[in-house]
A and B are shown apart, each in its own frame.
Chain A
Amino acid sequence: MGLRIRISPQTLDLLDALLERPSEWRHGYALSQSTEISSGTLYPILMRLEKLRWLETKWEEPKGGRPPRHLYRLTLQARAWAREELRNARARKVWKPSPSKA
């Protein structure tokens, strides 16, 4: 990946969550709950990742009278990059997975 972004611990947490089941589409609220990142922090990260084309997004089909929700997952290229970033961060001891995943 040529372009890089500032990798904050929250970004690493989010990448870690997205890599749990990488091919699966995830909702924003579910990501917030699994990473314990507040909505005010989560969405700027999602928007940056999407702008760099590391994140695939799509709208789900409407169901049950609720508005359609936005879905997210890492692109194929981004998955490899994200794994490398997590590995590096772990090696440099600047980040570690949450206790439930460790």
Chain B
Amino acid sequence: MKPVTKKQTNFSMQWLKSPVVVLLSMLMGISAGLYFPDFSKSSAMVGETYLKLLQMTIIPILMSAVISSVGKLFASESARASILKIITTSFIFLFLVGALTIVISLLVGPGRYLSEDAKILLGKTLNVADQSGGSHAVASRGTVEFIHAMIPSNIFDDLGRGSILSILFFSLILGVAIGTMGGKNAQSILDVAEGLFEAFFKIVDWSMYLLPFGLFSLLANQLASTGTDTLAAMLRFVLIVWGTSLFVIVVNTAIMCLTLRRSPLVILSAFKQSMLIAFGTSNSIAAIPSAIEALTGEKIKLPASIINLVVPIGVVLNSFSMIIMYIAATVFAAELYDVPLHAPQIVIVILLSVLAAIAGAGAPSIVCISMISIVLLPLGLPAQAIIVLLIAVDPLIDPIGTMTNIHTNVTISALVASGDKNENKGE
């Protein structure tokens, strides 16, 4: 009876959280962006403010979730097996997504059949970037730089700057320390972390009432500021990214149906909110709380101890959308510049794309995009030009990419957690 009374008291506002309303607001945002670009750009502040509200609790949630779950994991002594499982499952998925993308890209050919007009559009985009001095955007991060960026010299400084990678690293270490410490004090720290986690979650839950307004504004602005010219020239590339992403999401759903023994409809409805947030905000990290909620909630019921750990780490470290983008863009570049890709190069492309995606973990999207130089330069392809083109079409592929990130990481979490659940049952 209890849930019913709760529903009745919240009835007046509950409709704002319904997926129909959210979808409708997204569609309205898309049409506003296409047909009233000036209005859409001027309303951008609403979406940005909403995104700030969502992000407000992200770092505390990430920290409290990782600290409490790692702490518990190490206290229960099954840590090594679980972590190994998380890592192997992640890598298998990263390489599978890479292999799938290259097959689709080579079949469809993102840079094939480019018309003269398309080449003129590409040339103009590149020329404008050259003239505005965008020629220094090539970034690459080696292993040493990656580790250097990961370790905070002053955690409060990194918290202030919101550098996700170092915060994650710090939380992991702290969690391990608390877990191996044992005793009453350790338990009380873990309790505090868990309590904070729940409180922050409550805030996220409240912010969901504003989701339709936020998504409307974010999508309207995103579409209004996309250069449709570049899209025309890179249509096949964009289609490959969308197609591959949707294919991955379908396969993920099938995997979850099998491992969780639920119907596709249940899976779909369980993750609808996190998928919509991911799509609408193009911000994977902003979708973490709702993804955790979906996995541990009524419909899926996976153990929070594992989910709270795997989801945040996975979302920060495993960027499937970047792998899809890197590979499709590499094939595009190879076709545009007539550089043949044979079997050895194809293997190199997959390996380097996985490496580049991990190297870009937690970095802002421009930095992630420019990480493609890790893949392109060894093949003798001009990274500079491709980065400029990717930045131009990024708003069109970012929503579906973010959705793929969340969905695939949710799938990995479900695989790891359901395996653990079964093992625990066996014990």
The answer to whether A and B come from one shared complex is no
Binding site for A on B (CB under 8 A): none
Binding site for B on A (CB under 8 A): none
